[in-house]
Amino acid sequence: MTMRHVVLLAGIGLLISIKGYTQERELDTLQMLKGKPSGITQPLPVMKGWTDDTHFLLSKRLHPDSPFVTVKVDCKTGKETVVSDENARATRTVYMRSGDIYLTEVDGSEKRITGITGKISNPVLSPDNKYIAFTRDNDLYTYDIENSKEIRLTNDGSDVILNGYASWVYMEEILGRASRYRAFWWSPDSKHLAFFRTDDSEVPLFNIVGEEGAHGTLIRERYPKAGDPNPKVKVGIVTPGGGNIVWSDFNQERDQYFGLPYWRPDGGALWVQWMNRGQDTLVVYETDITTGAKKEIYAETQKTWIELDDMGERISFLKDGKRFILQSDKTGWNMLYLHDMNGRLINAVTTGQYTVTEINYIDEKNQVIYFTCRKDNSARYDLYKVKFNGDGLKRLSFGEYTHEVDVSPAGSYFITTYSNINEPQQMALSDNKGNIKKLLGSEKGSSFYEYKLAKTELIRVRSEDGKYDLPMKITWPLDYDPSKKYPVLISIYGGPKAGTVYDVYSFNGQQQWWAKEGLIQVAMDHRASGHFGKEGVNYMHRNLGYWEMKDWIQCVNWLIDRGADKDRIAISGFSYGGYITCYALTYGADYFKYGLAGGSVTDWSLYDSHYTERYMDTPKENPEGYKSSSVLTHVNKYKGLLRIYHGSMDDNVHLQNSLQLVKKLQEAKKHFEFMVYPGGLHGWGGNQARHSQNENNGFIYRNLLRKDMPDVMLR
């Protein structure tokens, strides 16, 4: 019998031993609302990294009340040794403070990089630690550390010409917020920098007006709305010491997008992701770093759209320099494909109707890929391995759990943190055959089995057309009685491939409070949420809102059949979730009676080009789709009560969205609630955040629970 089986049986034995235990203690107010320790859960150890293929560092408590210490764990023996700060790396680091760049040397000494003024952003060390690249006033610079020399690489930066600094829509939708507007990338050999040169001159300006001062404030943002002119982008390559810029051979005047570029591992060429404005065709080109000439490596076209990769995960180069692994959802499900370096398909590595979510490790010696996927249950993540040729597909993670894994540097072991909706997280070390070698910790606290907790379950509801089993996570009232009627609070996001229902454990005091008060709390995912691959997401093409409502109405009917009060169904969401909330209270007003809508898109012609057109095409191409998906179109159906709230300085979903809805509701003489948060962006903090939460809680008490909100709820 393997160690894995011993552990699993031990877990079963534990469950048997506590079966007769009566959970009588009730949580008190402090435990539910003020975050006081209850003993129900406890912190897990924290993985601090692998030191080699058979050792890793863990931050943990040696005893329940002791401070955290760092231990080094031997995977072969399980032995733990307390160590000092062994995780520190002897290397230069660079960071910004008070608008200046600082360099920290290996010995800990700190140096301010002098002579640098202006708006400085994103200092990044070269891989060989000899240069710092950064942008200043929309030009790209390097700093030669050894010679204390600043080098200007571009010279035409302005308010509309951005070198190495991303335009807003590129930051938000293409490179990702984590880029912090950075649009330059070091080659692995430190010999070159690739960067985007962006011309924003034709992108319309949107005025964002603030309330501060006697005359107010004004921010003018280059923001392309659906159908507007986009930024014009060129891809440049330059040496860190300066000199002539090599421009990749693209026509800047073409309506197009460029995704995150990939440096070939030897630094000898740049691979550029190109996409047409319609976002249904992707081409990966290899650019010659000396001439800018390009050649096609890979091309893909889909009937709906293709997403640009902002995480550097589409392509994984193999160390042999002869092949790469490509991720694509062209079959309707994200799969892995093996290609040679000229782009020729060698073979599909994975096939089937499931979603590969991450490559965790590639073992080139044994021709094996370790990857995470949603195969056995779309609400769970599991670790699998498969050979390059597609043979030997095997699940390595265990049990009926969702797993988050960290594979060792050579793939001999992995650490998994795992749970399901009823079982708190545990952490374990496993070998690459899936056998547990050592339990590392449990989130279960000493009092876990003593308390009476609300029941949470994950169920599936068959869609109206019978094609999908829609996942829904429900926390029932504490003393749920099927013969009684209960109000429902649905928390939603709802966007394409943006599901929220997973088979993971979560203990939340606020959730327990609402359960005690008698709320049915629900999260639910539609067919396009990602559970059913790109195949399901494709339903949203040119028609946002429609299929979400179809599927969620089916879920609401399921709830009504099981004790939900049809007159007290509420939905709450922010951003895309705000859009869905507003749409539910208008288009879906026969089923959704109350709504809390924050930072909401109310008409897709008011949102940015890249995101909106990916799903909807342009307003000119799809006028009926824009009309039917607009909340404004369905205001005449509104009959419940909607609370609208928005930040006045929101640069993502402009306040304009909520104001246009407010005007439509006023013109229709409809009753609603509206709150603006001055200075708030796409979210806000401090006392404004507390005010917003208090107002939302008060709305729930008045309209769902139909009683006064207790003072203890005030934040």
Task: For the chain, give every domain's residue range.
Answer: 122-311, 456-713
Same CATH topology for 122-311 and 456-713: the answer is no
3, pLDDT greater than 80: no
Token pair in block for residue 238:
């330059």
Interior angle at CA 271, CA 266 and CA 274, nearest 5? 175
CA pseudo-torsion sign 658, 660, 662, 665 = negative
Q: Specify the residue for token string 């591992």.
A: 265
AA letter at 526: H
Q: Specify the residue for token string 């003593």.
A: 450
Give the whole-angstrom CA distance, residue 85 versus residue 667.
Answer: 65
Token pair in block for residue 100:
């200046």
Q: Are 398 and 483 in contact (CB under 8 A)?
A: no
The one-character DSSP state at 41 is B
Which range (13-17, 291-295, 448-452) has the least confidence?
Answer: 13-17
The pLDDT tens digits of the residues spanning 70-109 come to 999 999 999 999 998 644 556 889 999 888 899 998 888 8
Average pLDDT for residues 200-204, to the nearest whole number? 98
Burial class of residue 561 in the structure, from the number of CB atoms within 10 Å of its CB (0-12 exposed, 13-18 middle, 19+ buried) = exposed
Average pLDDT for residues 527-549, to the nearest whole number? 97
- Residue 228 backbone dihedrals phi, psi, to 5 degrees: -75, 165
- 438: CB partners within 8 A, 6+ apart: 73, 75, 78, 428, 429
Q: Are 503 and 379 in contact (CB under 8 A)?
A: yes
Numbers of helices and strands, H then E, in the chain: 11, 43
- 152: CB partners within 8 A, 6+ apart: 139, 140, 141, 242
CA pseudo-torsion sign 555, 559, 565, 566 = positive
20, pLDDT greater than 90: no
AA letter at 53: D
pLDDT at 389: 98
Q: Are 561 and 553 in contact (CB under 8 A)?
A: no
- 77: CB partners within 8 A, 6+ apart: none
Q: Are 431 and 408 in contact (CB under 8 A)?
A: no
DSSP 643-698: EEEEETT-SSS-THHHHHHHHHHHHTT---EEEEETT-BSB--HHHHHHHHHHHHH
Query: Which secondary-structure segment (H or E) carries 436?
Result: strand 436-442
AA letter at 675: M
pLDDT at 38: 75
Give the whole-angstrom CA distance, residue 426 versus residue 442.
Answer: 4
For residue 562, name the pLDDT band (cuts at 50, 70, 90): very high
17, pLDDT greater than 60: no
136, pLDDT greater than 60: yes
Q: Higher-confidence residue: 447 or 353?
A: 353
184, pLDDT greater than 90: yes
Give the whole-angstrom CA distance, residue 699 versus residue 552.
Answer: 22
pLDDT at 90: 63
18, pLDDT greater than 60: no
Q: Are 536 and 560 in contact (CB under 8 A)?
A: no
Token pair in block for residue 517:
């008060």
CA distance readout (Å), 675 to 586, 643, 658, 688: 19, 8, 10, 11
- Bridge partners of 361, per DSSP, are 370
Average pLDDT for residues 685-697, to the nearest whole number? 97
Q: Higher-confidence residue: 201 or 18?
A: 201
650, pLDDT greater than 90: yes
Give the whole-angstrom CA distance, residue 619 versus residue 542.
Answer: 10
Average pLDDT for residues 511-524, to the nearest whole number? 97
pLDDT at 8: 41
Q: Specify the residue for token string 């930072």.
A: 599
Closest of 400, 367, 403, 365 to residue 384, by C-alpha: 403
Mean per-residue pLDDT over the chain, rounded: 93
Q: What is the pTM of this model?
A: 0.93
Which range (15-24, 187-196, 309-318) has the least confidence?
Answer: 15-24
Superfamily (CATH) of domain 456-713: Alpha/Beta hydrolase fold, catalytic domain (3.40.50.1820)
CA pseudo-torsion sign 65, 66, 69, 72 = negative
The pLDDT tens digits of the residues spanning 316-368 come to 999 999 999 999 999 999 999 999 999 999 999 999 999 999 999 999 999 99
37, pLDDT greater than 70: no
244, pLDDT greater than 90: yes
Sheet with strand 402-407: strands edge to edge: 402-407, 413-419, 426-431, 436-442
Burial class of residue 155 in the structure, from the number of CB atoms within 10 Å of its CB (0-12 exposed, 13-18 middle, 19+ buried) = exposed
Give the whole-angstrom CA distance, residue 568 versus residue 486.
Answer: 8
1, pLDDT greater than 70: no
Token pair in block for residue 233:
């982008």
The one-character DSSP state at 708 is P
The one-character DSSP state at 608 is B
- Bridge partners of 103, per DSSP, are 94, 111
Interior angle at CA 211, CA 208 and CA 213, nearest 5? 120
Give the whole-angstrom CA distance, residue 124 versus residue 135.
Answer: 10
Closest of 389, 430, 383, 428 to residue 402, by C-alpha: 383
Pairing of strands 641-647, 564-574: unpaired
Give the whole-angstrom CA distance, residue 301 versus residue 539.
Answer: 17
- 312: CB partners within 8 A, 6+ apart: 260, 262
Please compute, for residue 166, the number of CA atoms within 13 A of its CA located in the half-sphere on the CB side.
Answer: 23
Q: Higher-confidence residue: 87 or 306?
A: 306
The one-character DSSP state at 132 is E
Q: Are 650 and 168 in contact (CB under 8 A)?
A: no
The one-character DSSP state at 584 is H
Give the whole-angstrom CA distance, residue 450 versus residue 22.
Answer: 7
- The domain 122-311 having CATH identifier 1.20.1050.10: the answer here is no
9, pLDDT greater than 70: no
CA distance readout (Å), 223 to 362, 433, 435: 40, 51, 52
